[in-house]
Amino acid sequence: MSLPGQHLPELHLLIGSYTATGGGNATGISIVGSSGAGADGPALVASTVAVLDDPSFLAVSGDRVYAVSETTDGGVHAFRRSGSSLEHLWDASAGGDAPCHIRVDPAGALVVTTYVSGTVTAVSLEAAESYAASVSASDGIVGGPGAAVGAGAGADGAGTAAGHGVAGRGTGVSAVLPDAAVATEVLPDATGPDEDRQDRPHAHQSTATPDGTVLVADLGGDALHEFRVAANATSVSIEPLRVHHVAPGAGPRHMAWFDGDLLVAGELDGHVYRMRRDGSGSFREVCTAAAFDGPVETSLLSHIEVDEHGLVTVAVRGRDQIVVLDASDGGLRVVGAASAGGVWPRHFARVPGYLLVANQMSDAVAVLPVGDDGVPGEAVAQIAVGSPTCIVPL
């Protein structure tokens, strides 16, 4: 749906969502494309491209699409994209319950974080691709020790030997990866002052550092855990390096980089933190800014991004706002705030001239025009999609 007189951009997107398993209204991964054109530009239509339980976060690399299934004993799923279709390639365990973030790391691995279990998992992409190709070449049957087969292997699709993953589904032959392709680390026990949300570690997101390591935000333990990930064709490893602490009760959720500094969204205290490595290698707080005035209550920060000019964009659920801060001068100050164009903005993506906001409880992605100051205007379109939680422009 677009507003009269507003010319819409041509968009091609993949959308992650919650399905009925997680209380949502989607049926899997959606793709958004143009359907004809009218006076106001192309009509933007979403359709299900892969049926999957709770694919709440996605990552794209070339023609590969990776998705978590944010369920109990959650999974990781890989697809090959061709136009507007996805071919299912392989599955792996997420290493814990409720995987909520997935990312392609420069080390050649997928890095997956699980919220409920508080784990971080790495999947060797070279090993995964090689194994999936061997399964496909043999029509879904791979012999030898440690082998596992995909869909059709038996009642549970898990094959006859130990392997990581879930039963294959979708078109094509899907492989369940062997143990050597997957490594998992459990975050150390920790709690925070919020007894309801910080009863134990909750790994929420990972990001690559300029130093070739990986940081994982632990919402439950008010910490950033640093790891070294290594992956090749036969193995993958995760080495814990150190723990960096943030303010008690902050609840670090998502992170972004600018000018060598780390910007952290505190989900629980409504603050954005700017952090920098000191001489000892530890990240220390440089400054912080409240994303809004007044009590936090049910106002929860979600996603954060920074553009090349130092404009920081952060979404606030509960208040249903997009807040913009300026980090260009080495500090942090609020520039302005605007409506998210819907209810419960869980994620967003930037495209030239627009901010696309996944408003989970509105069953829509809002298309917001953005001015030079980074503050969005009123929505010029709403893309109907059930319970959206992640947006990836293609």
At 211-229, the pLDDT tens digits run 999 999 999 999 999 999 9
User: How does pLDDT run across 104-127, given as a tens digit for each residue?
Assistant: 999 999 999 999 999 999 999 999
pTM of the model: 0.91
Name the strands in the sheet holding 99-105, side by side, starting at the edge strand that comes first in the sequence. Answer: 99-105, 109-114, 119-124, 182-186
As a whole number of angstroms, the distance between CA 174 and CA 335 comes to 48
As a whole number of angstroms, the distance between CA 304 and CA 112 comes to 18
- Residue 21, token pair as written in the block: 């398993």
DSSP bridge partners of 59: 66
As a whole number of angstroms, the distance between CA 341 and CA 327 comes to 25
User: How does pLDDT run across 265-318, given as a tens digit for each residue?
Assistant: 999 999 999 999 999 999 999 999 999 999 999 999 999 999 999 999 999 999
261 contact partners, CB below 8 Å, separation of at least 6: 274, 275, 276, 286, 327
User: How does pLDDT run across 10-30, given as a tens digit for each residue?
Assistant: 899 999 999 999 999 999 999
